[in-house]
Amino acid sequence: MKIPYARHSIFDTDLRAVSRVLNSEFLTQGPVVGEFEEQVSCLVGVDNSVAVNSATSALFLAYKALGLGPGDFLWTSPNTFVATANCALHCGAEVDFVDIDAATYNMCLKRLEEKLKEASRLGRLPKIVVPVHYAGQPCDMAKISELSAEFGFKIVEDASHAIGARYDALVAGSVSEHTVGSCAHSDITVFSFHPAKIATAGEGGIATTNNYELARQMYRLRTHGITFEPDEMVWRDPSEIWNYQQIDLGCNFRMTDVLAALGCSQLARVADFISRRHEIAKRYEQGLKSLKGLILPYNSPGVHSSFHLYPVRVTGSSGTNQKAVWAEMHRRGIGVNVHYIPVHRQPYYEKKGFKKGYCPEAENFFKEVLTLPMYYSLKDPEIDYVMDALFNAFEVGLVG
Ligand SMILES: *Cc1c(COP(=O)(O)O)cnc(C)c1O
């Protein structure tokens, strides 16, 4: 048996949607990209969405649009994919990391507050803070937004794991529903449509915002900084043909209509995708709760996670047990993974001066975490096979 940690699900409706576009006039960015943006805006309850060719591009455009550049700092969680931090370096800014919370594995907000106070004294406050909704479990955005009002930073949510997630119950005293992506407590939110994520467009990303000016800037930046809008143009000489003008420095980050068609058709299934993920999580929880030495994911009360990942911790002996379980699972064809190697431990970041020990919680987590298979088409017998393998690995492989 071969069971990966993640896998996309493609349906006949996806094939039909893509083939319609292949037989149409547009292959690259055209009307379907606009439909995809509309659909995301409706799904998450936001005014503007800007679709691009990856979440990495969306993060880069979000940082650029917020003016991140040389001399600025961007802070994020070390427990993320490298792209979250890398895009700040591409803007010429410096990156710093706020250690994670030992229970949720999201950025620790107590540590964030302490670090902000310290940075305020030193005159080194960040321009942007990027919370990452790790595994699909939303961060406490209301709290982060309070800190942003106090310390004056912008907020970009890296919601690559979290389409369809909600943080309604975390908004103190409120019964209103806050969907991740609505930007109720942030400037911009970014989603990924990579095949390993909840819904896919093959590749693709989107930035959502309620700030029309930011959206307009990102629309331009995704296509070389060019505008086609008469009201954005600088030169207005009627004797010259200005059918477009470059007013910013951008690049080609466009999504294609082919991929947007796949994205649209997948978005229609997000609720289904997530409810199956919840069933899988429940089956894991019931099956694994008696396994001593294994820590199951913590669910923040009232939060609706999208369960992009199912991270468990293999405790004890500083990574030895984790490696033994990893090896045994892979021997049985189960592609458990590690999310994440803390970004500051990557050799590239080490060369920039980050040392082992800089974010102890994230580093402890790295030495214990395994992400179990989690995807829509994972069948109950396969889940049971994974759990049997896990029990077995604990019995045979562990040093204690
Ligand atoms: C996948 C991922 C990204 C990058 O997404 P792409 O669409 O592959 O560029 C960024 N941040 C996080 C947290 C991710 O999981």
CA pair distance 396, 123, nearest whole angstrom: 54
User: Tokens 């923040």 correspond to what residue?
Assistant: 300
What pLDDT was estimated at residue 177?
A: 52
pLDDT at 169 over 60: no
Residue 270 CB contacts under 8 Å (≥ 6 apart), including other chains: 43, 163, 164, 198, 199
What is the 177 CA–ligand 1 centroid distance (Å)? 25
Q: Which of 160, 339, 340 to mutate to test the pocket of ligand 1 (most atoms within 8 A of CB)?
A: 160
Which tens digit of pLDDT belongs to each residue from 358-386?
999 999 999 999 999 999 999 999 999 99
76 Cα distance to chain centroid: 12
How many other CB atoms are there within 10 angstroms of residue 304's CB atom? 21
What is the 81 CA–ligand 1 centroid distance (Å)? 6
Which residue from 197, 210, 62, 54 is spatially nearest to 130, judged by alpha carbons? Answer: 62
Average pLDDT, the chain: 94
Given a contact cutoff of 8 angstroms between Cβ atoms, the answer to whether 44 and 180 are in contact is yes
pLDDT at 84 over 90: yes
pLDDT at 349 over 70: yes
Give the helix, strand, coil percentages of the chain, each rounded to 5.
40, 15, 45
Query: 265-296 burial, b if ≥16 CB within 10 A, otherwise e?
Result: bbbebbeebbebbeebbebbeebbeebeebee
Given a contact cutoff of 8 angstroms between Cβ atoms, the answer to whether 337 and 370 are in contact is yes
pLDDT band at 170 (very low <50, low <70, confident <90, very high): very low
pLDDT at 174 over 50: no
Average pLDDT for 297-305: 89
* Residue 160 CB–ligand 1 contact under 6 Å: yes
Given a contact cutoff of 8 angstroms between Cβ atoms, the answer to whether 294 and 313 are in contact is yes
pLDDT band at 176 (very low <50, low <70, confident <90, very high): very low
What pLDDT was estimated at residue 318?
A: 67
Given a contact cutoff of 8 angstroms between Cβ atoms, the answer to whether 257 and 32 are in contact is yes
pLDDT at 316 over 90: no
pLDDT band at 397 (very low <50, low <70, confident <90, very high): low
Look up the pTM and report it: 0.96
Determine whether 354 is exposed, middle or buried from the number of CB atoms within 10 Å of its CB (0-12, 13-18, 19+): buried
What is the 56 CA–ligand 1 centroid distance (Å)? 6
For residue 197, the ligand 1 atom closest to its alpha carbon is 1
Residue 200 CB contacts under 8 Å (≥ 6 apart), including other chains: 8, 193, 194, 262, 263, 266
CA pair distance 140, 120, nearest whole angstrom: 22
Return the structure tokens found at 185: 């407590």
Average pLDDT for 99-109: 97
Which residue from 50, 78, 47, 77 is spatially nearest to 64, judged by alpha carbons? Answer: 50
pLDDT at 400 over 60: no
What pLDDT was estimated at residue 87?
A: 98
Q: For the chain, how big is the Rg over CA atoms in Å?
A: 22
What pLDDT was estimated at residue 173?
A: 39
What is the 395 CA–ligand 1 centroid distance (Å)? 35
The residue length of the chain stands at 400
Q: At what angle do helices 380-397 and 270-288 cross, to 10 degrees?
A: 40
Average pLDDT for 278-301: 95
Given a contact cutoff of 8 angstroms between Cβ atoms, the answer to whether 72 and 93 are in contact is yes
User: Tokens 């045979």 correspond to what residue?
Assistant: 396
What pLDDT was estimated at residue 369?
A: 97
pLDDT band at 253 (very low <50, low <70, confident <90, very high): very high
pLDDT band at 320 (very low <50, low <70, confident <90, very high): confident
CA pair distance 9, 23, nearest whole angstrom: 23
Q: Tell me the percentage of the chain whose pLDDT exceeds 70.
A: 96
Given a contact cutoff of 8 angstroms between Cβ atoms, the answer to whether 385 and 1 are in contact is yes
How many other CB atoms are there within 10 angstroms of residue 130's CB atom? 29
Nearest CA to ligand 1 atom 8: 194
Q: Strand (E) positions, the chain?
A: 48-52, 73-76, 94-97, 128-130, 154-158, 188-192, 205-209, 226-227, 245-246, 294-295, 310-314, 369-372
How many other CB atoms are there within 10 angstroms of residue 392's CB atom? 14
What is the 389 CA–ligand 1 centroid distance (Å)? 29
